[in-house]
């Protein structure tokens, strides 16, 4: 195998160049203001990550509709958004010449009840998991043709806004059981009109969103999508269907597809990484490579430098995506590129909380981002404990504060 150095640039179909092969995948930062505007803390976090060597930083999910948030402290693009706050964030996050893409999302039925008691979704299927028993989600309603059209336009408007604010690309969140993947999955899309039924119909929404974004941002602006390799649920979106969607994306033209998997009902994307389980979706990527020719980023469980380099060398992927290790060491990308570290480390789990289906590590990642945003060391033990506590208090308190944007 010819080694492909981690710092080899990558030219995307739109003509943009990623300076190297490591990307920070999206992580919901929970650092927006109470009005869903970017904060100074958020800009400080991205300034730190920009100095950390990744060629591409993808923001945590930014909502395209303030009535559909994934958490109260999300950032949202609204008709009255102050673009200057977004500009500050973009400047900080591109300080060192890396790309900074805004991830655009609509959570659909995965919108918490305290934000929306009847969120828009393809069909009326409620999420089934622990949180449903706690009545965490509202009863979704099936969007009509006009609502679907409005959501597609909101994605396009948000993308144009991101471009004007100085972000260097956008990524549509098409994975993890949010709205775009709800349309793709036969478990959540029970429609019999042109938006449901066959895979061609279920994929129409994702393709329409990408097409409208392209019209809004022009030909030379990077557009990516995060896509599930599968739902990992019986009767759900399968690996075979996912590969057929890749074929459609190749036909339509896309700059970068990021592969992940799972949803709130099957949190495989947040699996624990250990000696027996690493690079969760690498086998899928290898198979996909034989089928399609599109730039591919793969995220989930990449930790060993040798596995990253081998995957690049044998052509399984073009960009290595990583999320949780960036909250433990904001310079993990540069350390891997320079060979200073052979293995990226996860933040520790919260003692006593067990795994909670990946939630313990996710909460710790949120706490670590909070510390980084304050300019503190994420390895400061006392700081960690208080940051976890603060994150828990804030999220719990938000459940009791009805929010009507």
Ligand X SMILES: Cc1cc2nc3c(=O)[nH]c(=O)nc-3n(C[C@H](O)[C@H](O)[C@H](O)COP(=O)(O)O)c2cc1C
* Footprint of ligand X (CB under 6 A): 25-28, 60-61, 103, 173, 175-176, 226, 260, 269-270, 273, 299-302, 322-324, 362, 365-366
Write down the least CB distance from residue 181 to ligand X, Å. Answer: 10
Write down the least CB distance from residue 188 to ligand X, Å. Answer: 17
Cα distance between residue 99 and residue 17, in whole Å? 9
The encoded tokens of residue 388 equal 């976890």
Write down the least CB distance from residue 280 to ligand X, Å. Answer: 7
**Residue placing its CB nearer to ligand X in the complex, 196 or 258:** 258
Determine contact, residues 331/301, Cβ cutoff 8 Å.
no
Write down the least CB distance from residue 399 to ligand X, Å. Answer: 18
Q: Name the CA radius of gyration of the chain, rounded.
A: 19
**Residue placing its CB nearer to ligand X in the complex, 20 or 365:** 365
Write down the least CB distance from residue 146 to ligand X, Å. Answer: 28
Residue 280, CA distances (Å) to 228, 300, 343, 405 in order: 12, 6, 16, 37
Cβ contacts of 197-204, under 8 Å, gap ≥ 24 = 199/241, 199/244, 199/245, 200/248, 203/245, 203/248
- Residue among 262, 353, 244, 266 at smallest CA distance from 300: 262
**Residue placing its CB nearer to ligand X in the complex, 269 or 371:** 269
**Residue placing its CB nearer to ligand X in the complex, 142 or 316:** 316
Residue 381, CA distances (Å) to 104, 323, 353 in order: 33, 21, 17
DSSP state at residue 218 = -
**Residue placing its CB nearer to ligand X in the complex, 161 or 302:** 302
Cα distance between residue 254 and residue 235, in whole Å? 28
Write down the least CB distance from residue 270 to ligand X, Å. Answer: 6
**Residue placing its CB nearer to ligand X in the complex, 68 or 226:** 226
């Amino acid at each position: 195998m010819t080694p492909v150095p981690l710092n080899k640039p990558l030219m995307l179909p739109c003509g943009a160049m990623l300076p190297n092969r490591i990307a920070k995948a999206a992580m919901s930062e929970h650092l927006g203001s109470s009005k869903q505007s970017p904060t100074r803390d958020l800009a400080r976090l991205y300034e730190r990550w920009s100095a950390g060597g990744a060629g591409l930083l993808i923001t945590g999910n930014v909502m395209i509709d303030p009535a559909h948030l994934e958490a109260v402290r999300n950032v949202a693009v609204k008709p009255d958004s102050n673009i200057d706050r977004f500009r500050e964030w973009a400047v900080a996050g591109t300080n060192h010449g890396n790309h900074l893409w805004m991830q655009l999302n609509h959570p659909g039925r995965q919108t918490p009840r305290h934000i929306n008691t009847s969120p828009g979704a393809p069909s009326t299927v409620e999420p089934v998991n622990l949180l449903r028993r706690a009545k965490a989600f509202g009863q979704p309603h099936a969007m009509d043709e006009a609502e679907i059209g409005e959501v597609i336009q909101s994605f396009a408007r948000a993308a144009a806004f991101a471009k004007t604010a100085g972000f260097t690309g956008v990524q549509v969140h098409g994975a993890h059981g949010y709205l775009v993947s709800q349309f793709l999955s036969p478990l959540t899309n029970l429609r019999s009109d042109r938006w449901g039924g066959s895979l061609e119909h279920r994929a129409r929404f994702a393709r329409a969103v990408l097409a409208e974004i392209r019209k809004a941002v022009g030909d030379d602006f990077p557009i990516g999508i995060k896509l599930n390799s599968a739902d990992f649920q019986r009767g759900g979106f399968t690996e075979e269907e996912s590969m057929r969607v890749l074929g459609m994306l190749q036909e339509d033209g896309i700059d970068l597809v990021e592969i992940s998997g799972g949803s709130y009902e099957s949190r495989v994307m947040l699996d624990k990484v250990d000696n027996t389980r690493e690079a969760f979706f690498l086998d899928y990527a290898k198979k996909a490579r034989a089928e399609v020719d599109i730039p591919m980023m793969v995220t989930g469980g990449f930790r060993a430098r040798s596995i990253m380099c081998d995957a690049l060398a044998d052509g399984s992927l073009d960009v290595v995506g990583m999320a949780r290790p960036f909250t433990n060491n904001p310079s993990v990308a540069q350390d891997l590129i320079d060979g200073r570290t052979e293995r990226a480390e996860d933040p520790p789990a919260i003692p006593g909380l067990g795994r909670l289906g990946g939630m313990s590590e996710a909460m710790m990642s949120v706490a670590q981002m909070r510390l980084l945003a304050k300019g503190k060391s994420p390895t400061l033990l006392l700081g960690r404990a208080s940051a976890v506590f603060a994150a828990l208090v804030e999220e719990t308190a938000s459940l009791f504060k009805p929010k009507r944007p």
